[in-house]
Amino acid sequence: MRPPSFSGQKVGELLESRYNPRRIRAVALRVVRQLKRDPRTIGLITFAPIFLMVLFGYALSGEMSGIHLGVVDHGGQDGLRSSLQGEKDFDLLYLGSQSDAQKLISDGRLQGAVVMDGGAVRLLLDASSPQVSDRIQAAVIQGLRPREATAGQVDVRYVYGYDLEMMDSVGPAVLGLVVFFFTFITTTISFLRERTQGTLEKFMVSPLSRTEMVSGYLLGFSLFTVIQSATTMLVVVFGFGVPMNGSPLTAFAIILLLGAGALVLGALFSNFASSEFQVVQFIPIVILPQVVLSGVWWPLQSIPSFIRPISYLLPLTYSSDALRMVMLKGATLSQVLVPDLLFLGGFFLVMFAAATAMLRREVG
């Protein structure tokens, strides 16, 4: 038997048979046509994010009066702790280490932090907002007063952060959340429909490969992801005055990569649902953990360390970080490459492979 030859033409043919741009385009065009004809979904895709942002914006604007104070408690200062807990306008965030606290202050997400370490009390304050710093310092001294002797031991350090409103920090992360949520739900339902309306069976008996099918969906949906993230971004930036210090294109790139991950995850999960009712049940399984654990609302560092490994497996953790870096600190694409884009890219590839493998040819 002759060994198989791999001439350029053969490889070209093989590629052509498995990955044909025309077929991908046919799928993409079809997806766009279907969505175009579905005004409710289009409305949902474009206006729901705006609605959500407005809702969050108002809900969070009330919280802006609170002072976000980190507490690193290594024991020994029960009196101070309970006195701080009694301060009504303090939002306490319990953290594991001083370096976590330092990072959050420099990110603008905390206005200060108290480190209690036996007899010693260290106070980290944001140098950019002196009034708040004074307020924190006064409260700490107040808390220590019953034990006058230690009052002198407060070691005050200044960290260079910046004055950040709650919406500034939440906005970029919610941008990712909104895109992830809607892309995941719409694609899960679309893929499920392919199966329930019998078209998947016809696909399977056509030259269209599974890779081409998922790629076609990616192409078709990316158009809507762009529209969706553009509207949401406009609301975030112009409606709520969240800064856009980096390039909007970089932010788009991050969102598109996240959206692509959500799409292939949806394609994968569609295999586990047999009705649209069951798709709704994925929301608490897939979306809720991300809302709670990925640092959208409260910093990752405040999540108890035994669940934090889960946080590091969630794509939203990385998109939130990357979008904050770009929008607030003006980071470039290369600055968010490691670990954020690398993780998002890896997540996409793994889920893509899993989704195409699951769309089996043998349906029965």
CA neighbor of 174 nearest in space, from 77, 294, 281, 74: 294
* Spatial distance between the Cα atoms of 133 and 131, rounded to a whole number of angstroms: 5
CA neighbor of 317 nearest in space, from 254, 267, 247: 254
Least CB distance to other proteins at residue 38 (A): 7
Nearer to other proteins, 19 or 94 (CB): 19
Nearer to other proteins, 213 or 327 (CB): 213
Nearer to other proteins, 250 or 356 (CB): 356
| Residues within the interface to other proteins (CB under 8 A) | 20, 22-23, 25-27, 29-30, 33-34, 37-38, 197-199, 201-208, 361-364
Least CB distance to other proteins at residue 208 (A): 5
Q: Which residues of 85-118 are buried (b: 16+ CB within 10 A; e: fewer)?
A: eebeebbbbebbebebbbbbbbbbbbbbbbbbee
> Which residue in this structure is represented by tokens 């807990």?
85
Dig out the tokens for 71 from the structure: 């507490």
Least CB distance to other proteins at residue 361 (A): 6
Nearer to other proteins, 18 or 145 (CB): 18
Nearer to other proteins, 221 or 348 (CB): 221
Do 154 and 119 meet the contact criterion of CB atoms below 8 Å apart?
Answer: no
3-state secondary structure 197-233: CCHHHHHHCCCCCHHHHHHHHHHHHHHHHHHHHHHHH
Q: Any residues with CB less than 8 A from the CB of 307 and at least 6 apart, and which?
A: 293
Nearer to other proteins, 204 or 287 (CB): 204
- Listed in order, strand segments (DSSP E) in the chain are 67-73, 90-95, 112-117, 120-126, 154-159
> Which residue in this structure is represented by tokens 């350029």?
8
Nearer to other proteins, 4 or 118 (CB): 4
Do 337 and 329 meet the contact criterion of CB atoms below 8 Å apart?
Answer: no
Nearer to other proteins, 148 or 362 (CB): 362
Least CB distance to other proteins at residue 319 (A): 31
Least CB distance to other proteins at residue 187 (A): 16
Distance from the Cα of residue 218 to its chain's centroid? 19
Give the SS3 label for residue 122. Answer: strand
Least CB distance to other proteins at residue 198 (A): 3
Nearer to other proteins, 25 or 308 (CB): 25
Least CB distance to other proteins at residue 17 (A): 8
Least CB distance to other proteins at residue 4 (A): 15
Strand order across the 90-95 sheet: 90-95, 67-73, 112-117, 120-126, 154-159
Least CB distance to other proteins at residue 127 (A): 58
CA neighbor of 360 nearest in space, from 216, 253, 223, 210: 210
